[in-house]
Amino acid sequence: MPYATITEALNSGQTLVFGHRGALAQAPMNTLAAFDCALQQGADGIELDVQLSKDGHLVVIHDTTVDATTDGRGHVAELTLAELKQLDAGAWFSADYKGERIPTLDDVFDAFGDKLLINVEIKSSPAWGYRADKVLAECVRRHGMSERLIVSSFDPALMGGLRQMMPTAMLGFLYQPDMPASHYLPLKRLWHQARHPRQDMVDQGYMNWARAQRYFVNVWTVNDGARALELSRLGVNAIITDEPAAIIGALEKC
Task: List the catalytic residues.
Answer: 20, 62
Q: Distance between CA atoms of 39 and 113, rounded to whole angstroms?
A: 12
**Long-range Cβ pairs for the range 34-39 (8 Å, 24+):** 35/108, 35/111, 35/112, 35/116, 36/111, 36/112, 38/116, 38/244, 39/112, 39/115, 39/116
3-state secondary structure (DSSP) of residue 166: coil
The rounded distance, in Å, linking the Cα atoms of 237 and 217 is 5
Query: In b/e form, how buried is each residue of 31-54, taking b as 16+ CB within 10 angstroms?
Result: bbbbbbbbbebebbbbbbbbbbbb
227, 199 Cβ separation under 8 angstroms:
yes
